[in-house]
Amino acid sequence: MEKRNSTLIGALAGALLIAVLAIGAIGAALISSRPITAQAQTSGVPGMRQITVVGTGEMKVTPDTANVQIGVDTSAPTTQEALAQNTAQATAIIEKIKQIGVDEKDIQTSGFNIYPTYSSDGRQVTGYTVGNQVNVTIRNLAQAGPLLDQVVQAGANRIYGVNFTVADPAAVLSLARDKAVLEAKARADQLAKGTGATVGQVLVITENVGSGPVVPMPMMDRAVVTGGAAVPVQAGTQSYTAQVQITYELQ
C-alpha cells in the first residue's frame, strides 16, 4: 500500500510540474506575440498645430591667419655639440621671424627633443640629434611666403603643414546663423502655404554649428623651399556653416 501511494504521489507531482511548465510557455508565447509600440519622437508643443523645418546657412571666407610649425634638427657626435649647434640655429630662426614682423607673442616653442643616432646595424651610438620646433602665427598672410623662404635660409630644415584659419570665426558663424534662420523661415512659409496655412510664432529652436576643416599644406624641407623667389602661399577659402531646426506654430 505504501509503495502504491508513493507511486501515485510521484505521478501527481510530475503531472503538476508539466502543467506549470506548459502554462509558463503559453504565457511567454503570448507576451512575445504582442506588438511592441514604438515611442513617438515628438518635438514642439503637444496639442498645437505646428511645423518643424531645418535651415542651413553657409559662409565662404578667405582665411586671414596662418599657423606653421618651423623646426631645426642638428646632429653631432656628442649631445653638447648637437645642442650648441641647434641653439645657434634656432636663435637665428626666431630672430629672422621677428625681423619679418611677427610679434613675439605669436612665436611659441612647441617641441624639443634629443635622441641618439645609431650605426647601420643598430648596435652602436654614432651621435646625437637635437630637434627644436616653434609654432608661428602669421596674422598678415602677405608675410607667409617670405617668412618660409627666409627661415630656411636662416637654418630651418623642418617646416610642418601650414594651417589657415580665420581670426574671428564667431563673426563669420553669426552671419551663417542669420542665413540659416532665414532659410528655415522661407521653407516653413512654403510648406505652410501649400496646405493653406500660415506660419505663426516660433515654438522651439535648436542649433548645430560647424565649420570647414583647416586647410593644410604638406611638410616641406630645405631643398624644396630654397630658391630666388618667395614661396607661393595660397590661402584659398573656408566654409563655415550653421544649422538650425525651428518649430513654428501653424495658423
Residues 166-222 pLDDT 10s: 999 999 999 999 999 999 999 999 999 998 999 999 999 999 855 454 444 444 444
Cell of 106: 605669436
| Residues paired with residue 69 on neighbouring β-strands, in sequence order | 135, 160
Residue found by looking up cell 607667409 in the block: 144
**Inter-residue contact 251 to 200 (CB < 8 Å):** yes
Backbone angles phi, psi at 186, to 5 degrees: -65, -40
CA–CA gap between residue 141 and residue 167 (Å, rounded): 12
Helix (H, G, I), strand (E, B) or coil at 213: coil
Cell of 25: 510557455
Per-residue pLDDT at 62: 92
Mean pLDDT score, 25-33: 44
Cell of 9: 504521489
Mean pLDDT score, 126-145: 94
List, for residues 81-108, the tens digit of each pLDDT value.
Answer: 999 999 999 999 999 999 999 999 999 9
* pTM (predicted TM-score): 0.63
Model confidence at 237, pLDDT cuts 50, 70, 90, reads: confident
